[in-house]
Chain A
Amino acid sequence: MDPTPRSRWRATLGDIHFWIPVAVLVIGLIVLWWIA
């Protein structure tokens, strides 16, 4: 069965690999806020 957009979203949000860059991006924004 072909994957649906919903199932792909669910797969993305359930993928730990996705949350690592998200967490690092948030940290980067905090540092930038402090520096700028």
Chain B
Amino acid sequence: MDRLNELDPARLRNLQRVGTLCGFAAGAWLGAAEAPTKLVTLGVSPVLISFMMVLGVFLARWSLPALVRGTATLKDDVRQAPHLLVWAALGGCLWAVANTLTIFAIKDIGLAVAFPLWNSNSLLGILWGTLLFNELRDAGRSRWIAVLGGALVMFAGATVLAVTSAAHAPGGNAVRGVVAALTAGALWGTMYIPYRKAYLTGMHPLSFIAFFTIGELVMMTVLALVFLGGPAEVWRELAASRGVLFWLLVAGFVWVVGDLFQQYAAKYVGISRGIPLSNTNQLWGLLWGMFVFGELASGGRGAVIAGSLLMAAGAGAIAFASAPAREYRRWQEAGARESARYGVDPAYVAARMAGGAPAARHTLLDWLLVLAATAVFVGSAMIAAVPALQIGWGWAAALTLAIFGMLVAGGVALWRTTRFG
């Protein structure tokens, strides 16, 4: 492994800092994306809600990369590592099933409580990161303690919230809701295996998500057809729910912004640290659930806040245990292993891991994609109905402002350090 180049320590620190910031920005946007799923209380099928969200995700995942980087650069990645298309699609399938499960969970045990349960995915992320991708190897005792201790504190917080769920379930089946949320956590924790695989093999995050979303859309279409009873029924339910389509397309779009940051976090700080950081979405979900939608107004807020603070403290401990140079070298070894297994140029992998990327190239196709996505959003907005829910609009505006602040901070840091590489 002597041919692996040492990364400049200042560069490594910058990449770690940007990755950490991306993790927190991901948390803010992923948390906001879950809020529109509260519409399930209006009697729309959970599978249909997930399907409409995936439509929004699909639109965002082809238009945002087209806008930021251009689809022409996708070809470079496909040429270098075509096998990753299968991995990306597999990740998308995992996401679609997990997302559908979370909507059942929200229906049964509520947003504020379901969140921390599926956020147990961070424990799996640590396991997979360490076992499969050399993360935390040679990291030193203090970092191990911070990451493992943080994970245990997060688990304690999740337990507090799970116990609260039994007492404050919003009228659904608590056991079914808990099983749905935990299974979603297992799927979302394992989904990071394809993420990390891609970044250790040099794929660009924007290329990865473009193919990831094909897996998502195919899997979600199959689920909708099976669970709703065929194409005619899917169409009938879509037409009947057209008033909420816009809000769910927006949810999908917001989710993609969060996921983009999450991809960069997975790339630059690894999955064992990146997942807990993006799991701060639980705290954002708590804010949206309690203040915008008035969840837990009948009691249980104290326990939920205590559990959430525990989880946040655990995530914080993990965030501060950034990877030292000797651990980064083990990541490079894992990257070299992938290069050898799949026959990808090692120099290409090393350059991409260090944040290098070809310059953006835009073509007419990119602008057509952006235009088409915008047209769909505008069209659905014209037939949208304001949901008949008690909504705290002041809080909604404040939280929206906050997540845009995170977007600017994360976007500027990424551009300065990696040019979105």
Residues of A that sit less than 8 Å from B by CB: 2-3, 5, 7-9, 11-12, 15, 17-18, 20-22, 24-25, 27-29, 31-32, 35-36
Contact = CB atoms under 8 A, between A and B. Distances in A.
Interface string B327-347: 000000000000001110000
Contacts of B91: 21
Given A17-B132, A28-B187, 4 more contacts: A5-B82, A27-B186, A28-B186, A36-B100
Contacts of B211: none
A31 B176 CA distance: 10
Interface of B: 46-47, 82-83, 86-87, 90-91, 93-94, 97-98, 100-101, 104, 128, 132, 176, 179-180, 183-184, 186-187, 190-191, 193-194, 197, 223, 227, 341-343
18 contacts: A7-B343, A8-B343, A11-B342, A17-B193, A21-B91, A21-B193, A25-B90, A27-B186, A28-B98, A28-B101, A28-B186, A31-B180, A32-B97, A32-B183, A32-B223, A35-B101, A35-B104, A36-B100
B342 A8 contact: yes
B223 A17 contact: no
Contacts of A21: 90-91, 94, 190-191, 193-194
Contacts of B86: 12
A15 B220 CA distance: 26
Q: Is the interface of B mostly helix, strand, loop or mixed?
A: helix
A15 B82 CA distance: 15
Nearest to A29: B97
A24 B128 CA distance: 13
Contacts of A25: 90, 93-94, 97, 187
Contact of B187 (A12, A15, A24): A24
B23 to A, nearest CB: 22
Given A28-B187, A31-B179, A35-B101, A8 B94 contact: no
A11 B339 CA distance: 11
Given A7-B343, A17-B193, A17-B197, A36 B47 contact: yes
